[in-house]
Amino acid sequence: MKKILLTIIAAALSLSLTAQTIQRTEFNFSSKRTAHFVEKGCYHASIGKGEIEFVGKKATLTVGNKKATYPAAEGTRKGDYWLMSVPVQNIKAGTAVDLWFPFIAEPADDRYAFAFEYLDGKVWKPVFPAEKKGDNCYSSKSDKWPNFLWKTVRLENEIKSGELKIRLRHCDKAVTKSTLYGSGVSTAPKVVVLGDKKPSDVTRVLFIGNSYTYYNHYPMMLKEIAWHEGHELDCGYYTHGGYTMKQHLADHVSRQAVEEGGYDYAFLQDQSLSALRIGTSVDKNVVGEMGKMVAKIKQHSPNAKCLIELTWGRRDGNNTTKGKKLADLVNGYPQFFTSYDAMQKVITKNNIAMAEMLGVGLSPVGIAWEIVRRERPEIDLYVKDGSHPSYTGSYLAAAVGYLTLFKEPFKADTPVRVKPEIAKYLRSVAERVVLKGEK
């Protein structure tokens, strides 16, 4: 079998932690600099080097899709596969590993069958239950937006020193182009070694949102926090940059995630400025569309509790979104954009009112965000655009989300890429807001 190698950047982090925490290994796979790393041949990480490669018989390698950034392979055939290899050491038998793998298979007029698998010892095992021919997942019908494969597996065999291998194997007819999806801050392939703990319960959670949800893999972060607190999350997911609830309702990939059903909770994150429209002359039925999404979720998950994500205002209050989509709001209500405080006040008030009107819950991230900005302005919760969350901001959102689900104080000092003192403070703010009702 001819091996066509596509190596892309990854980041590996292994931390020495206190006795209250579990050692953590995380692998981020970013295709942001694909061309550069194809030239260089490999990346360097703290515990070795890893790679993503495409293995195929007659495939022709091409780097980039329409955005000229994501790795893709053309002319792929049945039996070809994407292979993800990450360096690991001292992985005990029974260790749980969280796998995230978004991909697109074109053309998109039909769904293509794949096998999502991991190597356990010497045997390839299915991540999801497989059919007799081995397939256990499908590509989406979209030629722009991927199917997100996200699951936790538990290794039966130890890995003293070597590589953890995951692959996505074609089980169907030839595919014009197979593409890995995502950038370093959003939806790129990712692996997190959770450890050998056995959580006491399993909770099914759905995430429907846009870039505020997918930045820094916030749902994976929430899942990891829950794991170290003793709870396992089994998650469904669909995000699309800038989407409103109306757009999610019209998107077949989003509907597919909702219709999978069986959820206990659903986090719903509307377009970040939609709440500003509520009750104004430019209101685009924000509450009504959110109500339709709640009803859709209840149809397929009757016992699910829906949680509206109460998000944060822009860092400086000004509108940082390019284009004409928000021109009516910006021009009609400039007072909303005069400052962060002005924007947050309206976002908070309107989201609370919407949740009460629909009879659903809230994940009050924006309220915690406001407290941090007021008390610790040196903690930067934003990236450079003044809108999207930094890693620290996403950690705050995940801490609030966890408490919203389980309503219990933190017991573990979950290891993440945030300074321990700052992480501890953010968790305390989350507890003050969610458990004590602080405003």
**Angstrom distance (rounded) from CA 313 to CA 318:** 9
DSSP code of residue 48: B
Among candidates 343, 391, 400, 392, which has minimal Cα distance to 368? Answer: 400
Among candidates 2, 54, 46, which has minimal Cα distance to 24? Answer: 46
**Angstrom distance (rounded) from CA 4 to CA 83:** 11
Structural contact between residues 221 and 401, judged by C-beta atoms closer than 8 angstroms: no
- Taking only the tens place, the pLDDT of each residue in 7-65 is 322 333 222 222 233 344 444 443 333 222 222 222 223 333 456 777 776 555 554 44
Amino acid at 59: A
The upper half-sphere exposure of residue 6, i.e. CA atoms within 13 Å in the direction of its Cβ, equals: 30
Task: Dig out the tokens for 165 from the structure.
Answer: 């291998």
**Angstrom distance (rounded) from CA 50 to CA 85:** 6
The upper half-sphere exposure of residue 423, i.e. CA atoms within 13 Å in the direction of its Cβ, equals: 16
- pLDDT number for residue 288: 98
Structural contact between residues 291 and 299, judged by C-beta atoms closer than 8 angstroms: no
Instruction: Tell me the pairing of strands 265-268 and 231-239.
Output: unpaired
Structural contact between residues 79 and 57, judged by C-beta atoms closer than 8 angstroms: yes
Count of CB atoms situated within 10 Å of the CB of 23: 12
Instruction: Tell me the pairing of strands 81-91 and 113-120.
Output: unpaired
**Angstrom distance (rounded) from CA 53 to CA 432:** 46
Residues facing 177 on adjacent strands: 74, 106
Instruction: Tell me the pairing of strands 137-138 and 159-170.
Output: unpaired
Q: What is the DSSP string of 31-75?
A: -TTHHHHHHH----BTTB--EEEEE-SS-EEEE--TTS-SEEEEE
Q: What is the DSSP string of 160-184?
A: EEEEEEEEEEE-SS-EEEEEE---T
Q: What is the pTM of this model?
A: 0.87
**Angstrom distance (rounded) from CA 41 to CA 34:** 10
Task: Dig out the tokens for 272 from the structure.
Answer: 């970040």
| Angle at which helices 252-259 and 286-300 cross, to 10° | 40
- Low-confidence stretches of the chain (pLDDT < 50) are 1-49, 63-68
For 91-101, give one letter per residue: b (16+ CB within 10 A) or e: beeebbbbbbb
| CA 396-434-318 angle, 5° bins | 50
Helix then strand then coil, in percent of the chain rounded to 5, is: 30, 30, 40
Domains defined for the chain, CATH in brackets: 3-191 (2.60.120), 201-434 (3.40.50.1110)
Among candidates 269, 250, 161, which has minimal Cα distance to 206? Answer: 269
Helix (H) or strand (E) holding 201: strand 201-209
- pLDDT number for residue 323: 66
